């Protein structure tokens, strides 16, 4: 199975901060990577697919990028509603695996 | 509006069976790839099984031989038959419409499966 190593596991930040989360794949996955946001008691919400394509309706402060097997989710200016857990997922080969998640909390 | 609703979760003893259902509305389920995911309490997300629009099925190694994914096109529903359940299958189970190129969206609200004696 393809392993995804996500970092950091926990992040404390303030409203307005620029936040970057990294996801590293154990092997090449082309651009088959998605990012999700999950709030307590809720289902995951798709933010970005194909490594850098913003899902319809998602604010433009969210962006994704890729360099080889390293993928990055950036929130340009953290808003109160952005405090949540973020997970990456590879869809290159089944089983589609997830990173362990990054919890973004208020500083 | 595209919507998914899971049902069928509950408390069972190890070794017992359970069938989860996923009702789709707003789209024809059989025309798309559909997947089951799960999330154990306090843990990350895990892929469980996938059924392609063409009917091909895929399973995580941890459930292969015990779980069966299927769909009923006439009812626009997908199922997950879970046999020989183990404590480690305890999780919130989600169904989602998926595509390799565009990710999983939408997701249902989840149904809780608890395996405990």
For residue A95, say if its preceding peptide bond is cis, omega within 30 degrees of 0.
yes
Q: What is the pLDDT of residue A107?
A: 87
Mean pLDDT in residue range A26-52: 97
Is B58 an 8 Å CB contact of chain A?
Answer: yes
Task: Give the model confidence (pLDDT) of B18-74 as tens digits.
Answer: 999 999 999 999 999 999 999 999 999 999 999 999 999 999 999 999 999 999 999
Is B107 an 8 Å CB contact of chain A?
Answer: yes
Q: Which candidate, B41, B5, B1, B39, places its Cα nearest to that of B20? A: B5
Are the beta carbons of B97 and B32 closer than 8 angstroms?
yes
Chain A residues with a Cβ under 8 Å from any Cβ in chain B: 1, 32, 34, 36, 43-46, 49-50, 53, 55, 87, 89, 91-92, 94-101
From residue A36, give the alpha-carbon distance in Å to each of A92, B14, B29, B65.
16, 32, 22, 29
Q: What is the pLDDT of residue B71?
A: 97
Task: Give the model confidence (pLDDT) of A86-95 as tens digits.
Answer: 999 999 999 9
How far apart are the CA of B39 and the nearest CA of chain A, in angstroms? 10
Closest CB to B50: pick one of A94, A99, A100: A94
Q: How far apart are the C-alpha atoms of A9 and B41, rounded to whole Å?
A: 17
* Averaged confidence pLDDT in chain A: 97
Closest CB to A94: pick one of B58, B102, B104: B58
* Averaged confidence pLDDT in chain B: 97
How far apart are the CA of A2 and the nearest CA of chain B, in angstroms? 12
Q: What is the pLDDT of residue A93?
A: 95
Quickly list H helices, A7-107. none
How far apart are the CA of A77 and the nearest CA of chain B, in angstroms? 25
Task: Give the model confidence (pLDDT) of A74-88 as tens digits.
Answer: 999 999 999 999 999
Mean pLDDT in residue range B80-95: 98
How far apart are the CA of B58 and the nearest CA of chain A, in angstroms? 7
Mean pLDDT in residue range A66-73: 98
Q: How many inter-chain contacts (A to B, CB under 8 Å) are there?
A: 62
B60 neighbourhood in chain A, CB within 8 Å: 95
């Amino acid at each position: 199975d393809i392993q995804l190593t996500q970092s950091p596991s926990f992040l404390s930040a303030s409203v307005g901060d620029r936040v970057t989360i990294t996801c590293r794949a154990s092997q090449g996955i082309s651009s088959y990577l998605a990012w999700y946001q999950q709030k307590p008691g809720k289902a995951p919400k798709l933010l970005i697919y194909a490594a850098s394509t913003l899902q319809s309706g998602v604010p433009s402060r969210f962006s994704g990028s890729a360099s080889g097997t390293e993928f990055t989710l950036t929130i340009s200016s953290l808003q109160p509603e952005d405090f949540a857990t973020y997970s990456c997922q590879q869809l290159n080969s089944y089983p589609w695996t997830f990173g362990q998640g990054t919890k973004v909390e208020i500083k | 509006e595209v919507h998914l609703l899971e049902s069928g979760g509950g408390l069972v003893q190890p070794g017992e069976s359970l069938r989860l259902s996923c009702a789709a509305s707003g789209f024809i389920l059989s025309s798309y790839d559909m997947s089951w995911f799960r999330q154990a309490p306090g843990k990350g997300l895990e892929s469980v099984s996938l059924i392609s629009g063409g009917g091909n099925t895929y399973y995580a190694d941890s459930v292969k031989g015990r779980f069966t994914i299927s769909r009923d096109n006439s009812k626009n529903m997908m199922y997950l038959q879970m046999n020989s359940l183990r404590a480690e299958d305890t999780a919130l189970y989600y169904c989602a419409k998926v595509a390799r190129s565009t990710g999983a969206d939408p997701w249902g609200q989840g149904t809780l499966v608890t395996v405990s004696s």
